[in-house]
Amino acid sequence: MLVSAILFDTRSIQRYIFSGTKLRTNIGASYLVDTVYDQVLFPVLYDKFGSSNVDTESWRQGKMLGDLSENIQCAVGSNGGGSILLLIKNPIEQDDLKDIVAGFSRKLLVERPGLHIGAAFDREINLDDGTKFKDDLDRLYKKLKENQMTVFPEVSIPYTGLTLRCPVNNETANYWQEKGDEKRFISQETAIKDICSIKYTEKLKKLYTTISQKYDFPMQLEKLGQRRSEDYIAIVHIDGNNMGVKFRSCENQQSRSRLSEEIRRKTEGCFGRLLNSIDAEYDTYRQYLDVGEEYADDGGKPFLPIRPIILGGDDVTFVCPAKLAIRYTKRFIEYMMAEDSVDDLTSSWAKKVDCCAGIAILKTSYPFFSGYKLAESLCDEAKKRMRGALRQKNEAVYDESGLMDKPEVGTSWLDFAILHGEQAPALAQIREQEYRGARGNMHFGPYQVGHDMGAILKERRYDIENLIDAVHQLQSGKYMAKNKIKRLRSVLEHGKHEAQEFMQQLEQQKPVQKLPDIAEWAVFTEPENAMWSKENPSKTPYVDVIEMMDFIPEEADR
């Protein structure tokens, strides 16, 4: 069966979501992206074909256009990850396909200003032959990519120099907002994002009904619970590994659709488990966070110390107090890797999803978009370490072009960085300026999460549990006095002689002081190594331990 197809893809999603300086606009922008096809594209299709002749839901059950009733002229083939595939019965003229794209574009300019959408269409997509279907779909994706490189639509009102700039996203301020006592000009894009932040929160409440009966999702970064004396938050970006390869490996459209829907269910289900775990330990947060009824707005429900911004497909971004970032990230990744975390999944790649994460720890007042870009870069570093681990274990995992040809093999990693004051925004600059010592790299990560769930390497040196255990040991005060910990950070910046001398001084103390007792790090405590590895480039884990002492709670991390 030959059909026509239109492929839409949302472009520059992260920039659209995080371009504003307020959490509310970030939240609202995420909602606008998540609902762009349901609320903007589908009405265009209903006008074109008639609402009874368009099917937007059967793809979730893996049904193809040919499996539906004869009156269905247009059906969604897949919908997720910012893109949507429409399948349309032939005969249909090329001009009709262009009309759909044009109608969608016009509606976008009014209802989603600032949002970029790319499009491509093809009138010869084979649904009956799995191999031909994959080839046809690859051709359509290639055409979409070519269009994105050559077509640059103007989706916002240009700044003329004679109008005000929006204080939130710096676009043309063409909308008058009256909000309580606040009256100002802002951009239309900001206004729509602000309005939709409430809609996204309502959607979360429906999705997680039990939790929302007890808690509110914060709408401001200041409501996450971080104390003024420890005013650090964390932006966490988590992304599934090799998902593009996994989707391209699907034999037919049914399996692609099923995988897309089950990945969404997996992500939402695992985040629900994370919220339940937060509920179970909520009272313990009072030791180091400002949480509870006394911090609620107008006597409302207490706030959760976490706020999801992007929650869909394999792509997750949330903010939380810096002290809980490692805990929440580690826990969520472990849920994603656990096969029993969500029931009734049939796709093997949805049952166990390995992923990588980047954690940017920064002051609450730091520009949010810059913080997100850092988290994204850290996630990329974690993915590089994941790929390196796979190559170290089995070079056959990658084909000659460098693409992964065994997507079922994977591990999960996380990396983090702490921004102290005004630092260089690029990760490479931060690492070079702040974490380069005389003997090598003073940042030890990325760290592996869920080693026992997807062990590729026997070596456990980089397991995140080692870092957490070492932090707790130094926090206990039983291993090293505070003044020695402070000096250790300085010693690690210098040469081998200073490090050996420092270790000798620890042994001469009464009672004897020592470095954290981590079995997998025993090699670093040997006098000839003096706290550094022998590899090139050389690395040490102890700077990470010292810095994370402020960002991992002192009680046992669960």
Cα 79 to Cα 37, 43, 244, 259, 487, distances in angstroms: 9, 16, 14, 11, 54
- DSSP annotation of 336 reads H
Q: Which of 466, 451, 439 is nearest to 520 (CA)?
A: 466
Q: Which of 144-158, 283-297, 348-362 is predicted with the least confidence, judged by mean pLDDT?
A: 144-158
If you average pLDDT over residues 496-500, what whole number do you get? Answer: 92
Question: Cis ω on the peptide bond leading into residue 511 (within 30° of 0)?
Answer: yes
Is 80 exceeded by the pLDDT of residue 424? no
Cα 444 to Cα 201, 515, 516, distances in angstroms: 38, 16, 15
Could you tell me where the beta strands, DSSP code E, fall in 281-427?
307-312, 315-321, 355-363, 412-418
Stronger pLDDT, 306 or 113, i.e. the higher one: 306
Residue 449 parent element (H or E): strand 447-449
What does the pLDDT look like over 314-348, one tens digit per residue?
889 999 999 999 999 999 999 999 988 898 888 88
The pLDDT score that the predictor gives to residue 159 is 66
pTM flag (> 0.85): yes
If you average pLDDT over residues 36-47, what whole number do you get? Answer: 95
The pLDDT score that the predictor gives to residue 473 is 94
What does the pLDDT look like over 146-182, one tens digit per residue?
988 887 777 776 766 667 888 887 888 888 888 878 8
If you average pLDDT over residues 182-199, what whole number do you get? Answer: 89
The pLDDT score that the predictor gives to residue 170 is 80
Q: Which of 157, 161, 216 is nearest to 190 (CA)?
A: 157
Task: Determine contact, residues 7/144, Cβ cutoff 8 Å.
Answer: yes
Strand partners, 74: 54, 88
Q: What is the DSSP string of 105-118?
A: HHHHHHHSTT-EEE
If you average pLDDT over residues 19-45, what whole number do you get? Answer: 91
User: Which domains does the chain show, CATH number per domain?
Assistant: 2-150 (3.30.70.270), 208-421 (3.30.70.270), 468-548 (no CATH)
What does the pLDDT look like over 514-526, one tens digit per residue?
999 999 999 999 9
The pLDDT score that the predictor gives to residue 345 is 87
Task: Determine contact, residues 78/59, Cβ cutoff 8 Å.
Answer: yes
Q: Where are the alpha helices (DSSP H) in 127-174?
A: 130-150
The pLDDT score that the predictor gives to residue 162 is 63
Could you give phi then psi for residue 533, rounded to 5 degrees? -85, 165
The pLDDT score that the predictor gives to residue 459 is 75
Stronger pLDDT, 196 or 388, i.e. the higher one: 196
**What would the two tokens of residue 85 be?**
């595939």
If you average pLDDT over residues 47-65, what whole number do you get? Answer: 89
**What would the two tokens of residue 557 be?**
């991390």
The pLDDT score that the predictor gives to residue 397 is 45
CA–CA distance, 134 with 132 (Å, rounded to integer): 5
Of the ranges 134-138, 159-163, 421-425, 472-476, which is most confident? 472-476
The pLDDT score that the predictor gives to residue 395 is 46
Q: What is the pLDDT confidence band of residue 455, given thresholds at 50, 70 and 90? A: low
Task: Determine contact, residues 63/254, Cβ cutoff 8 Å.
Answer: yes
Across the chain, mean pLDDT equals 87
The pLDDT score that the predictor gives to residue 453 is 65
CA–CA distance, 46 with 41 (Å, rounded to integer): 9
What does the pLDDT look like over 216-256, one tens digit per residue?
999 999 999 999 888 999 999 999 988 877 887 777 777 88
